[in-house]
Amino acid sequence: MERSRLQQVLDEAVEAARSLTEGAPASYIPELATVDPEATSAAVMGIDGTTTLAGDAATHRFTLQSSAKLALLAGLLEERGPDAVFSVVGTEPTGGSFASVGELEWRGPRPGNPLINSGAIALCAQLEGDLERRLAWIEDWGTRLYGQRPVFHQRVWVSERRTGHKNRAIAHVLKAAGLLDGPVEDVLEAYFALCSLEAGVKEAARFAAVLASGGVAPGGERVLSPATAATVVALMATCGMYDESGAHLVRTGLPAKSGVSGVIVAVAPGIAGIAVSSPRINAKGGSVRGHAVLRGLSSALGWHFARPFGPPP
């Protein structure tokens, strides 16, 4: 595809999305409520590294929040293998809230999948060593996947720690079930730090491009095995958008992962990685404008993975 065509489509999708005023920044993490609600940015990085930016991409920074769970999952799959990872978490969509405590009681105690809060907290407990070593692990894998050494946003990290009562409840339920090794507060510190990683859409799209190419980074370095990339993309498709995963996949055909900062990362397999960010989120934690941009891209460019079988409804 000509880059000028992609630039036009992306610009038009972002500008159309700017007219949407539904939703609001997440307020249950107080620091997230202080951002500019109108900031809207997008990036598409082809598997060859060609990058197209739109909106406020040059200046818009945000925390990765739950989209960073993908880095945790990918790194542990590489180091420990799927048998070890999926002995701790499942692979099924839950159909419920991403921060549900009750789900651990009636379906658990093993979390349903690694992309809900309980699953990511359980995986953070699998990181070895003290807190400093766990944070170094996150930084190392963040560098490999996002293409530059990540920074922890200190105010968001503090805000997560101060208000993360449901996540503490989840961690204690996991601890009582024997699924959480180490001190609860150390595990939660690693989890809060993971969610507080700061990035822009270009870095976020770079990780998605690694997944789109089966684990090869732009430039040709293999970062993930094909099996790890396939597993992560499959879980994005079924679980990455929580209880709107099905609706999102039907409309766009792009496996994706949301974060309550307003970021969504998505994969067009074999083509490109995509990142969109705008902090107005819906009741299920997905960016209202981000959803619109992805629908516009998929429709205009034919990137729905099942397009040969007909257009999405």
Active site residues: 66, 69, 191, 242, 260
Residue 43 DSSP symbol:
E
User: Coil, helix or strand for 62?
Assistant: strand
Number of neighbouring beta carbons within 10 Å of residue 53: 20
End-to-end CA distance of the chain: 25
d(CA 102, CA 112): 12
Cβ neighbours for 185, distance < 8 A, ≥ 6 positions apart: none
What are the residues facing 197 on neighbouring strands? 152
Q: Note whether 300 and 16 are within 8 A (CB).
A: no
Closest residue by Cα to residue 214 from 199, 227, 204: 227
Q: Note whether 80 and 113 are within 8 A (CB).
A: no
Cβ neighbours for 209, distance < 8 A, ≥ 6 positions apart: 45, 46, 47, 49, 217, 218, 272, 273
Cβ neighbours for 100, distance < 8 A, ≥ 6 positions apart: 94, 116, 118
